[in-house]
């Protein structure tokens, strides 16, 4: 992918299923990759996996809900590599709950992680991009950013909010060489989706395989999305060749949501 070699990319949620695929894809393009998440062990193991192919990688424990943590990450990457050109806001939590029974804590945690966390990273990393006259912010949203689903009220609100942040920042940055876009995946074939299927199987008495088939059937293509498909779109959005695309929310969902 043109122009990505030697760029530095920060990927939040880099120890998760999608985060690891994103980190691997950018590392393969010759980027320096910094990954952050709260849990140090999964983070180290993700970094070790990606470094096997000779990539330059930094694994920095960080809670993106804490602005001081994010600032610290900014300082460490800047000291090591001089700056960050691409930020991928991938960290997120998704807990299902019936609205009437949902605890306020679930709403608070979800909005804080999925929306305020991404906001914190934009707030800390964007100024240097604006000064440099080049940058890319890619927010990993969800089909729930465009459509509504039952029992994921807080998640849906947080991802709708993330689209609002994307569109607003796209205007703020439009004349400064920076683009801000979102990716909206459907059900991805990763650990999280399998964990969710296990939980639903326990609740409903169906098998995990049956639940995964139901997830797949929510897409007109009748399949789950490979994490690498999301990573391919992120590479395209980050490319030097795609400076005119900003403020967009692109679905990778087999045609499930066509807006």
Ligand X SMILES: NC(=O)c1ccc[n+]([C@@H]2O[C@H](COP(=O)([O-])OP(=O)(O)OC[C@H]3O[C@@H](n4cnc5c(N)ncnc54)[C@H](OP(=O)(O)O)[C@@H]3O)[C@@H](O)[C@H]2O)c1
Q: Which residues bind ligand X (CB under 6 A)?
A: 12-13, 15-19, 36-39, 42, 62-65, 90-94, 113, 117, 140, 142, 185, 187-188, 190-193
68 or 240: whose CB is closer to ligand X? Answer: 68
126 or 197: whose CB is closer to ligand X? Answer: 197
Least distance CB 227 / ligand X (angstroms):
8
Q: Cα–Cα distance between 107 and 70 in angstroms, integer?
A: 22
132 or 226: whose CB is closer to ligand X? Answer: 226
Least distance CB 163 / ligand X (angstroms):
12
Least distance CB 113 / ligand X (angstroms):
5
5 or 195: whose CB is closer to ligand X? Answer: 195
Least distance CB 257 / ligand X (angstroms):
11
Residue with nearest beta carbon to ligand X: 16
Q: Which residues are identified as catalytic?
A: 155
């Amino acid at each position: 992918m043109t122009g990505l070699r030697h760029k530095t990319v920060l990927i939040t949620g880099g120890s998760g299923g999608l985060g690891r695929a994103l980190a691997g894809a950018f590392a393969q393009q010759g980027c320096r990759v910094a990954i952050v998440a709260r849990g140090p062990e999964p983070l180290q193991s993700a970094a070790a996996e990606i470094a096997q192919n000779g990539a330059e990688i930094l694994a920095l424990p960080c809670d993106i809900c804490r602005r001081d943590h994010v600032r610290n990450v900014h300082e460490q990457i800047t000291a090591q590599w001089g700056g960050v050109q691409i930020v991928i806001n991938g960290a997120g939590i998704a807990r299902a709950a019936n609205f009437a029974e949902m605890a306020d804590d679930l709403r608070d945690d979800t909005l804080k992680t999925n929306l305020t966390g991404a906001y914190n990273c934009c707030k800390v990393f964007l100024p240097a991009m604006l000064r440099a006259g080049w940058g890319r912010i890619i927010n990993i949203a969800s089909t729930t950013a465009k459509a509504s689903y039952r029992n994921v009220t807080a998640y849906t609100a947080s991802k709708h909010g993330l689209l609002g942040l994307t569109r607003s920042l796209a205007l703020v940055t439009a004349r400064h060489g920076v683009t801000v876009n979102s990716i909206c995946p459907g059900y991805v074939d990763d650990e999280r989706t399998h964990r969710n299927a296990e939980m639903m199987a326990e609740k409903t008495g169906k098998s995990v395989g049956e639940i995964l088939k139901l997830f797949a059937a929510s897409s007109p293509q009748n399949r789950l999305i490979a994490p690498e498909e999301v990573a391919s779109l992120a590479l395209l959005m980050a490319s030097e060749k795609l400076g005119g695309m900003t403020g967009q929310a692109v679905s990778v969902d087999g045609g499930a949501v066509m807006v």
